[in-house]
A and B are shown apart, each in its own frame.
Chain A
Amino acid sequence: MKDFKSQPLEKRKSDSKKVLKKFPTKVPIICYKDHNSVLPSLEKDKYLIPKSLKVLEFEQIIRKKISLGEKEALAFFVNEKLMPKKDSTMDEVYAQNKDEDGFLYIVYMEENISG
C-alpha cells in the first residue's frame, strides 16, 4: 500500500511494536487490492488479526467485507506468492512473511481474463 509505505520506516516499526505489545494474541497486517484489480476496495487497510485465525477463515472474512459474490474469483498473495496453505494460522504466515517494518502485507486480486 503506497500511502502506508510512504510513512517512514521507523514510524511503521514503532507502530507495529506498539500493537504487538498491547495485543499479544494478534498480528498487524496491511490488506489491500492489487493496483490492477477491479474488485471493490476495503474500507480500511490496517487490521489486527487473531494469531489463531486460519488462512481460509481470513479469506472468507475479507470476501464478506468486500461483499464479493460466490461466483467471483478471489486470490490472496503475500510476497508475490499465494498465501501459504489454507490451514496455516495467520501467526505462521506472519512469522514467515512479515515485512521489516513488522507488518504483514496481503494483496488480493480477481482472475485474469483472456480472449
Chain B
Amino acid sequence: MEKTEPTNEGDILLEAAQKRQTRGRRTKGCSNGILNCLRASARTFTELNKRIDFSQDVVFCKDQTLKLDDKEAFTNVLKKFPWISYRSDFKEINGFTSDSGWGCMIRTGQMMIAYTLVQIKLEEYKTPESDSVHEKVLHAIIPMFFDNQMEFDAPFSIQNIIQIGEKMYNKAAGLWYGANSVSHCLKECHDRYNTKFNSDLEIKIFNEGIVYEDEITKVLEENKRLLVIIPQRLGLKKVDPAYFPQIKELLGCKLSMGILGGRDTSARFIIGHQEDTLITLDPHYDQCTVDTLDEGGLATYVTEYSRNFSIYDLDTTVAFCFLISSTMDKEFLNAKISTMKVKYKDDNILIMLESKKTLEDNIHNDIESF
C-alpha cells in the first residue's frame, strides 16, 4: 500500500525546516532554533501521507468519496480542513506558554469545531466553492481560535477552553483531556461566547451512544443547526475489530464532521479513511503563536500532510461528530441508526430514543445487591 514513500526524505526534511525557519523569522518572539525545527520535522515528516494508495478511492467525512489519482489532489483536499497544532509563545496560562505535550486533544477538538464552522460558512456563500471563497471563509473562522485572545474575542481560544475546563473538570492547564471532556468545554465556550459570531448553531453531546430525538427536533424547530457529538469508549484496552465497519460507516456518512480520536495517547482529528487506514490531521507539531492571518499566518493553520495509521491502532475513546442542518438530515441520521441496528446486531453502538424522559420514566425498579 505504501506507494507514496517520499522519494528523498532529506529534501522533505530540509524543505520543512526552511519553511519553519522563515516562519520563525516572520513571527515575533519565536525562539525555536533550526535544530528544534529539524527534530520536530524529522519526527513528523517520516510518516506523512503514507499508507494511501492513490489508485484507489479515499473516503473523507461528509460523504466525499474521491478518486484522487495523485498526491496533489490528495493534498488539495487536506488543505480544505483547518489544521490546528500545538503552539508556543502564547500568553501565559498557569505558567505555560506552550501546550506542547498536553494540548493535543484540545487542538483536535478545535479542529473539529473549526471544520464545522467552515462548512456552515461555506453554505452562506451561494457561489460554488473556489479557492478564494475558501480562503475568505478561513479568514472569518480561524481568528475565533487564536491563542492569545480571550472570551468574546476568540471564543474557542485555548485560554477559554482551559478556563472552562478548570471549573468543569478541575483540570488545570497542562492536564490531558479526552474526547468527552474537550467536547463539553467546547460546547461551553460556544454557549458563552457565540454572540460574537451570531451563531445559529447549537451543540449537544450525547452520552453512552444514546441519541435523543426530541432534543434534535427542538433545535431544528428554532431554525438552528445542531452539532451532535457522541463520545464513546469502545474498548477497555483496544477497540474490538467488530466495531470497525461502524466506525468507518459513521465517519464517511454525509453528516459526518470527522471523529475525535487518536492513537496511543496522542489525539488526532480523523477526517477520512481508505479501507483500514485512517486519515488524520495531527496536532503534534509545535508552531509559534500568531495573532494575525496575514504575513503567512494563515499558512500555519493549513497543512498538506496527513498522518495515517491502521484502524487496528485506534485508541479506545472516540467522539463521532455530525452536523444536522435540516429535518432531512435528522431523518437521515434516524435512518442510518435504524439500518445500522439491523446490520450490526449485537455489536451495534448507537441507538436513538424518543426522549431522555421516556428512558427515565421506564426505570421503575432499582437493583438490589445481595
A binding-site residues for B, Cβ under 8 Å = 19, 28, 34, 43-50, 53-54, 56-61, 70-75, 77, 80-82, 84-88, 96, 107, 109-115
Residues of B with C-beta under 8 A to A109: 233, 236
Given contacts A46-B370, A73-B178, A111-B178, contact A56 B236 (CB under 8 A): no
- Bound together, the chains give a CA A47 to CA B365 distance in angstroms of 13
Q: In the complex, are the beta carbons of A74 and B102 less than 8 A apart?
A: no
Q: In the complex, are the beta carbons of B346 and A57 less than 8 A apart?
A: no
B16 CB-CB contact with A under 8 Å: no
- Interchain residue pairs A-B with the least CB separation, the first 5: A44-B369, A73-B180, A75-B233, A111-B178, A112-B317
8 A Cβ contacts from B217-244 to A = 231-237, 240, 242-243
Residues of A with C-beta under 8 A to B168: 71
Known: A73-B317, A82-B243. 4 other contacts (CB 8 A): A50-B365, A56-B353, A59-B208, A73-B179
Q: Which residue of B lies closest to A58 (CB)?
A: B367
B162 CB to closest chain A CB (Å) equals 13
Contact of A115 among B105, B210, B231, B368 (CB under 8 A): B105
Residues of A with C-beta under 8 A to B265: 112-115
Q: Which residue of A lies closest to B86 (CB)?
A: A115
Identify 7 residue pairs between A and B in the complex whose beta-carbon atoms are under 8 Å apart, listed by A's number: A54-B362, A73-B180, A80-B237, A82-B243, A85-B351, A86-B208, A114-B105
- Bound together, the chains give a CA A82 to CA B370 distance in angstroms of 25
Residues of B with C-beta under 8 A to A84: 346-347
Contact of B362 among A57, A75, A113 (CB under 8 A): A57
A70 CB to closest chain B CB (Å) equals 7
1/0 per position for B350-370, CB-CB distance to A under 8 A?
A: 010100000110110111111
Residues of B with C-beta under 8 A to A87: 351
Given contacts A85-B348, A85-B351, contact A114 B236 (CB under 8 A): no
B139 CB-CB contact with A under 8 Å: no
Q: In the complex, are the beta carbons of A107 and B236 less than 8 A apart?
A: yes
A108 CB to closest chain B CB (Å) equals 10
Residues of B with C-beta under 8 A to A70: 207
Residues of A with C-beta under 8 A to B351: 56, 85-87
Q: In the complex, are the beta carbons of A112 and B359 less than 8 A apart?
A: no
Residues of A with C-beta under 8 A to B177: 113-114
Residues of A with C-beta under 8 A to B205: 71
- Bound together, the chains give a CA A48 to CA B266 distance in angstroms of 40
Residues of B with C-beta under 8 A to A57: 359, 362-363
Residues of B with C-beta under 8 A to A60: 359-360, 363
Residues of A with C-beta under 8 A to B89: none
- Bound together, the chains give a CA A109 to CA B237 distance in angstroms of 11
Residues of A with C-beta under 8 A to B367: 47-50, 53, 58, 61
Residues of B with C-beta under 8 A to A56: 208, 210, 351, 353, 359
1/0 per position for B149-169, CB-CB distance to A under 8 A?
A: 000000000000000000011
- Bound together, the chains give a CA A88 to CA B370 distance in angstroms of 24
Q: In the complex, are the beta carbons of B315 and A71 less than 8 A apart?
A: no
Q: In the complex, are the beta carbons of B363 and A82 less than 8 A apart?
A: no
